[in-house]
Structures are given as structure tokens and as C-alpha cells.
Structure 1
């Protein structure tokens, strides 16, 4: 049975207790009401079954009907249009404006901005009537900034995020006196494909099919080496150790859980085989240990369902005996920045010198830090963004308008 307490416990375990407990608890306690809000207020459509993603002790993730964040963003944009909220495209934040008392006054932006030319566009000053909310996301594509925070994340390491996932918004807030939190805590996604750029279609195949319903194999040995449903940090650390090259293997029964399977096959991200022998030969995996690994895995599924590596086995998991078989070549890519700006429970940005909230300044989502600690659980970014976005929005709306 799931509960906010169990979700918080999972978050703290993955985060190595580095989480801001107050913020993490808010995410755990408000997730259900936020899910219902997206349905009743925005009209978001979800698939009828829960998914069990890495690091969670139970299945608790609802996927949108189209298995994409656009399933939430598009209804949000439609709601903005319905209630008359203007959205400015090709507009880049240049700096924040503070008044003499240190309160947030507004922003300077560049209109008609052309990414990534930071000098493009015309400067324009915008005065905030009530408050400013910063929600510019993480900096996983800002290779210069991220390597300062973690020297291991060199420019050669790909990211799953869009090209605009850079640090300008964060840096502008720091210049305005915001407090940085845990900027070196940067997560890699262990489920990404070697055979496509970015997040692609293979990542969802791995998360929804390969890891929960299949096995993760060391190409050199043909053996499993970790709980496929472990949190992302544990998975990445295990996959990167000794230069290990890994593939995920699943059969027809397990593969059907990924709605991106057909796209993966068309793009060559996932390969299909009629036998384990063919799969092993194509991936240069030693056949004998691979077959033994699969036999042991099938045996534990059929008997006591007590996995050697502690993997939580789905109730509908079947032995790997149903061809065709699928494999995906895996590589870890920079995915999420756990660090960012310090906020309090009201989503107010905290000043680095006074340690008090900067008046009329709020932030939400990946641009903030502290919620997830050392490692974010799969899918937890979405409730975090929406929960603190709503808190920031309601508090900003409650501010007395400036004359």
C-alpha cells in the first residue's frame, strides 16, 4: 500500500538524505491532489495503469496518454489561451531588477531573441505588477557551467534535454542575490540509447519495458550485475564502473508495455531477434553465460519471485521465453540537475546574505534545488514542477499589486 510517508522514504533513500525534508515532504503529500488537479482543471489524459519506475518501492507513476510531457504542457497552454494569459516567444531573460529595498521589481528581457546568440534581440524592461516567478529549468546542456560543478561531466557526454537547458536564468538569479544549493548534484539517465541523440524514443522503452520487464546485461560477461529498478545514481555508477557496456533485453510480452516500441524498431534504436542465439551474436555477448543468466532469472520468476539483486518484480512479469526478443544498447546521458536556487515552503527565493526570502521573487521546478538530494526518483520532476509552480503562482497572485 502506497502512502505519502512511503514516497518520502523513497525520496530520502535515493537522495542519500541530502534532500530538504520540508520540500520533499510537500511533494510527497501534494502529489495526489496535484494529479487530480491536472485532470479536473486542465483535462490531462493519463493511461489507466500505474508504472513502476526506478527507485520507487511501489508502482506510483501515471503516464500521460501520449507517453510525453506534451500531454501536460499542451493542456496548460490551452488553459493559458482560454483565460487570456499572453505567452511571449523568442524572449530571453537578461537580468532581474531589484528596487532599493531589495524587493523584486521586474526583469530585462531580449525580444526577438535568436538562440543561442545571447546578444541578439532588443532589450526591454518589464515591471512586475505583483511578483516574478522563475521557472527556467536545469542546466544539463550548459556544458561550460556543468563541468565547473562536476568535472566528470565533460563536453563529450550527451544530455537528454533540449538545447535551451542552460544556466542563464539561474545565473541571473544568483546575480540578484539568490542562494545556490547543491549545484554539483547532477543526474545521468541510465536508460538512454547509444543509437540516437538526446532522450529520443529509446529511453521510454527502457524505462517502461526493458528495466521492469527485462534484464540489464554486461556485454562482456553476459550476466546481470544490478537491480534494474534501482535508483538512477546506483544504476549509472554500476554501468560506468570499469567501462562496462550494457544492453537491456526483453521479450515480446515485456516489450508490449512500451508504447514507443514501433518507433524504436523503425529508427533502429531497438533491435528484434527471433532467438537468444541471434541476439547474443548481434551484440557480441557470450552465449553460454547469457543463457544461464536468463534461465536463473526465469526460475526465480516461476518459483519464489525473490530476485537475487533485490529487483521488485511486477505482478504481471512472465519468464523471458516469448519471442521475438528485443535489445537496446545503453549509455548514460546527463538528464537532471538536482541543485539550483534555495526556496522555502512558499516557493520564495532565499537571499544569500540575509537568509530571508527576496520579496516578490518565487521559483519552481528544476531551477530550484534541495527537493531530491543526491538523486531524483523517476518521474518525480513532474509533481515537483507542478506543485511548487502552483504554490508560487498562488502566492504571487496574492501579492498586493504595485500602484
Structure 2
């Protein structure tokens, strides 16, 4: 009895103490969080000072850095990883361009308004329309800018899912490395300071609240959080955040979407985590659409990461083949719908216990002729070859008669120029009449974060409360939110990254230069 009395008294004291903490201590908790995000001291001594600091070295970061340098600013790029490029290097290297010379050569009529409409439809109307127009307006000129910096494109236009017409250009390498390598090379030639293994720890602000630099760990070894030497880097004009998304941060992405747990693989590189986003939020940046996380509908469960199937399905299966439920041998969605529609459809293929039943995507040799990863996919048995449809059915446990009947229905739809089952666009559809056949098991992977911090058309990061710019802080690419709404169209990551990166670089370089103390 005395033990119970003592326990009740302890509980009362604990509750009383908790109430006191809530009233008196919350200010110190908030202050502690703020100080962790920001070193606020106008008289701080900097180890190095440049005009513009760019955090991140992907499409947005390298575009921002080069544009700022070409506008006359001194620039430093920092990246926490041991190699430059991040997700952009392993991206498929495809860029949606409204009004490219290749479109005109092929007689394809396109416009900025049409691209905006396509992205609005894919985004379910959630898009920031002004930012969307900024991106689409800048694609043709930015594509030319990339070409001038040494990027080489395949000599044909592609039609990716969700786009109403063909407008996608792709690097000859079928990889984002075909963009990152020329940009990094150009940056080094133009005297941009390139720093690997340099991790952002916090922002440095002056007494007026302007971001004037960053505190970093130099010599950082990801993911060992306490490695590296602390240094202060000053930015006379501003800091541009081009830190990408958080697709590999399982804990944080699951906070936004509980079903995106560790069982769901990601195409992202290991460094695609949330700490830079959190640092921006801690100094007042407004996070929007963080729960809008895209699944790539072209991935395969038979390999890790982006792999070989993603490129094969993008180039071959989706535009020139079909996808069927392995249990029925029948199509169940529009193969050229936007990514969200396709991924949502695939994720419904489950057994009575909720386990995935992997759909099969396939095409023939004619449909696969431009797929550069075909040989690698065959080597690692991610893609399988069959001489006949009966053999293909046996490989994947598909009812052969049903599969053959589905192919026959598809061929009739192609001949008629109309997909009566799912309304797929048929401009470049082809009949599937002759083998050999190439098949792949399919299951979506976490691919892209549509959410991030809110910016205006000057690429300035906006404050959560005032909706006014946080002075000295800019952001571009996947680190921002709102452009894509609920779902990003394929090939629009390169478009967004390059256009918004250049926009941020140009405007930041035009900002007022302030004097900083350098040690």
C-alpha cells in the first residue's frame, strides 16, 4: 500500500515537473533547435569566402554554379559525398523540352502551354503554376545551353508516359552522367571551387537575419556523422540549396507516407537524405507537399536501385510493348499514363495475403532495338529472352492462351489506331507480331520527392510565417516543392533542375555583395 502511495506521489511530481517544463522550458528547447540550425553572428570569422555557395552537385547545383560564374560571381560547390553528381549521375539522362530543334526536324508541333498543361494534369492540379511556367519556358534555351557545354543527345525524340506528344531528348549515354560530367568539367575550367566530402551542418546568419554562409564538416565520411573538421564558409551574395530529395531516408519518408517502409526499394543513391531540408526548415523555410513521393513504375524487383530494367522499360517496354498481370496474361493499365497512374496500378497486383504479384512487361526485338541496357539485363537475368510467346509464358508462369489472345487484341488496336481498353496514346504504337521476345518482372521503387521548400520565381526560399524571402537563401531542383504537384512527369527532373538551377545562379549572382571577415 505504501509503495502504491509513493508511486502515485512520483507520478504527480513528474506531471507537475512536465507542466513546468511546458511553460518555462519550451523557449529554451526551441532556442536550442534554432541554434543547431543557425550560427547567428555578424562578426563570425570565415575560413573561406566566395560570392555564391552552392550546396549539392546534381543537375540543379551544377547549373546554378556555372550560371552564377558566367554572370561574374566567384562560386564554390560543396557536396557531402565522395563523388559529384548525386542522383543526377544515375538518372536516365532524359530531358523534356518544349520546342526543340529535333521536334521541329521530325515535324512535331509543341508549345510551352502544351507542356504546362501536361504537367498540370499529371500533378492533379496541385502544381505551383508560376514555377511550372518558369520551368517550361526555359527548357528550349537551357537545352541549347547544355549542348554548348558539351552534352550530346540521341538523334531522335522520345514519347514518355503522361506527355501528350513526343518531347523527350536523352543523352547518348542514356545516363545523367552525360550531363554532369560536362558541367563539372566546365566548372573546373572556369575556376569554380569544387569540394567533395563537405557536409552542411548549419547556416550562418547576420544580425539582420540574412544567410551569409554555412558551417560545414570538411573531410566528412558519409554516413559517419561526427567525421570531418568544422569550418565556416562565407557567401557574400547568397547560398543556393540544390540538395535533392530524401528518397533513401527511410525513417523520414515513412513519416510522410507510412507505407513507404524499408521493404520498398529506392532508385536513389545512399546520400539522398533529409538533413539539409531539415536545416532549411529550422531557419523558417516553408515545407510543402512532403507527402508527395513518387514511385518509379519501370523498376524491377530482380535488382537493386535504378538498375538495367528502368532504362529498358522506359525505352522499350512502355513505348513499344505491353504489361500484363502474370496470373491472367492481360493488360490492366495504360502503359503511357503518367508515373503515378502506372505505379498505383502496378501496386494493386497482390495476392490474398498482400504479397506482390509482379507484372510482366515485354516487347520484341524491334521494340528493344534502342534499349542500351538490354545486354546487361540479359547477363544478370533481370531481362529474359524467349523465342516464342509460349516460351515467354512458361518463363513467367503466365497462361499461354490468354497471353497470345492479349497480344492479338493489342495488334488489332494498333491497326485501328485506338486503344479501346485503356485509352493509351497510339502515335508510335507498334504491333507485336514476331519474336524473339524480351520480358522483365516489374515493381515500383521510391524515386522522386515532389515536396521540398517553397520558393518564388526568383528561386528565393520563402518563410513559413511571413511568406517572404529568407534573405540570402535560394533553392533549386528537387530540394524545392510545388512544381510537380502530386506526380512528376518523366524527363522533367532534368528540365526542372537545369532551368531552376540557372535561375537561382543568375539571380543570386545579382544580389548585393556584403563584406565578410575572412581569417
What TM-score, normalized to structure 1? 0.98
Determine if the alignment matches structure 1 residue 196 to structure 2 residue 309: no
Q: Highest CA radius of gyration, 1 or 2?
A: 2
Corresponding position of 2:24: none
How far apart, CA to CA, are the structure 1 residues paired with 2:361 and 2:426? Answer: 16
Corresponding position of 1:211: 318
C-alpha displacement at 1:314, in angstroms?
4.0
Determine if the alignment matches structure 1 residue 247 to structure 2 residue 360: yes
C-alpha displacement at 1:305, in angstroms?
4.0
C-alpha displacement at 1:48, in angstroms?
0.8
Corresponding position of 2:406: 293
Match of 1:6 among 105, 108, 114: 114
C-alpha displacement at 1:245, in angstroms?
2.2
Conserved? CA contact 1:212–1:314, under 8 Å: no
Conserved? CA contact 1:253–1:318, under 8 Å: no
Determine if the alignment matches structure 1 residue 89 to structure 2 residue 201: no
Cα shift readout 1:91-111 (whole Å, capped 9, x = no counterpart): 111111122211111101001
How far apart, CA to CA, are the structure 1 residues paired with 2:207 and 2:514? Answer: 15
Corresponding position of 1:383: 495
Conserved? CA contact 1:220–1:245, under 8 Å: no
Corresponding position of 2:415: 302
Corresponding position of 2:218: 111
* Secondary structure in 1 matching 2:513: coil
Corresponding position of 1:267: 380
* Secondary structure in 2 matching 1:191: coil
What TM-score, normalized to structure 2? 0.76
Conserved? CA contact 2:216–2:231, under 8 Å: yes
Cα shift readout 1:262-312 (whole Å, capped 9, x = no counterpart): 121112111001010011011001111111000000112123344531111
Match of 2:391 among 278, 292, 302: 278
Check 1:307–1:249 CA distance in 2 against 1; reply closer, same or farther (3 A cut).
farther
How far apart, CA to CA, are the structure 2 residues paired with 1:347 and 1:58? Answer: 29
Conserved? CA contact 1:15–1:376, under 8 Å: yes
Greater CA drift, 255-264 or 136-145 = 255-264
Determine if the alignment matches structure 1 residue 129 to structure 2 residue 236: yes
Match of 1:364 among 463, 469, 476: 476
Conserved? CA contact 1:178–1:342, under 8 Å: yes
Check 1:242–1:323 CA distance in 2 against 1; reply closer, same or farther (3 A cut).
closer
Conserved? CA contact 2:126–2:485, under 8 Å: yes
Determine if the alignment matches structure 1 residue 178 to structure 2 residue 291: no
How far apart, CA to CA, are the structure 2 residues paired with 1:63 and 1:272? Answer: 26
* Secondary structure in 2 matching 1:292: helix
Conserved? CA contact 2:349–2:358, under 8 Å: no
How far apart, CA to CA, are the structure 1 residues paired with 2:169 and 2:417? Answer: 28
Determine if the alignment matches structure 1 residue 71 to structure 2 residue 184: no
Match of 2:126 among 18, 24, 28: 18
* Secondary structure in 2 matching 1:28: helix
How far apart, CA to CA, are the structure 2 residues paired with 1:385 and 1:375? Answer: 16
Show structure 1 runs of 4+ deviating over 2 A: 302-308
How far apart, CA to CA, are the structure 2 residues paired with 1:60 and 1:284? Answer: 37
C-alpha displacement at 1:24, in angstroms?
0.8
Determine if the alignment matches structure 1 residue 36 to structure 2 residue 149: no
C-alpha displacement at 1:148, in angstroms?
0.4
Conserved? CA contact 1:218–1:245, under 8 Å: yes
* Secondary structure in 1 matching 2:193: coil
Cα shift readout 1:337-389 (whole Å, capped 9, x = no counterpart): 00000000010000112210011110000010000000000010101001110
Q: Which consecutive unaligned segments of at least 5 residues does structure 1 have? A: none
Corresponding position of 2:331: 224
How far apart, CA to CA, are the structure 2 residues paired with 1:299 and 1:353? Answer: 58
How much is the aligned-residue C-alpha RMSD, in angstroms? 1.1
